[in-house]
Amino acid sequence: MKQQKWIRITNCENIPLREGRSLKIGECEIGVFNLGDRFLAVENRCPHQGGPLADGIISGTAVVCPLHAWKIDLESGAVLKPSDTTNCLHAFETRIEDGIVLLDISGLETTRSEEEISCSLTPQDLETQKTAT
Ligand code: FES
């Protein structure tokens, strides 16, 4: 069984309801989406031509790419539309702890530490949390 590697991403309120935000870990950009009752995360790179999925529109548990409207399932990373596409993105496990979104990055080939994560969210919030614990 693979060992999970959880990192703290941001406060839940920094990702508005039914919107996505992106963050970068090493070379991998990840889109994190607020579905209301949970957060889902996939690679932020549309399998069609690399569109930024975090800027797409959430539809159910899927996101519609802002470039050419491919539809990606946020739970599995699979392409739902067009239906004849077998491409799949990596989907990351998430959880919430004390109002903070955590992401399991054990699937990433990276040796980078949490401090090297660049995030379009508000990393300073995480700094506040770190010093508070
Ligand atoms: S880049 Fe996403 S649908 Fe074309």
Domain boundaries, the chain: 6-109+116-132
Tokens of 19: 């919107």
Higher pLDDT, 26 or 65: 65
CATH topology of domain 6-109+116-132: Rieske Iron-sulfur Protein (2.102.10)
The tens digit of pLDDT for each residue in 33-88 reads 999 999 999 999 999 999 999 999 999 999 999 999 999 999 999 999 999 988 89
Neighbours of 29 (CB within 10 A): 18
pLDDT band at 129 (very low <50, low <70, confident <90, very high): very low
Q: Where are the strands (E) in 38-120, listed by range?
A: 39-43, 57-59, 62-64, 71-73, 79-81, 91-92, 94-97, 100-104, 118-119
pLDDT score for 124: 42
C-beta separation of 72 from 51 below 8 A: no
pLDDT score for 106: 87
Rounded CA separation 64/59 (Å) = 7
Q: CA quadruple 49, 91, 113, 133: dihedral positive or negative?
A: positive
Ligand 1 atom with least separation from CA of 66: 2
Ligand 1 centre to CA of 45 (Å) is: 9
**Which residues form ligand 1's pocket by a CB distance below 6 Å?**
46, 48-51, 65, 67-70
Report the nearest-CA residue for atom 4 of ligand 1: 68
Nearest to 75 by CA among 35, 114, 48: 35
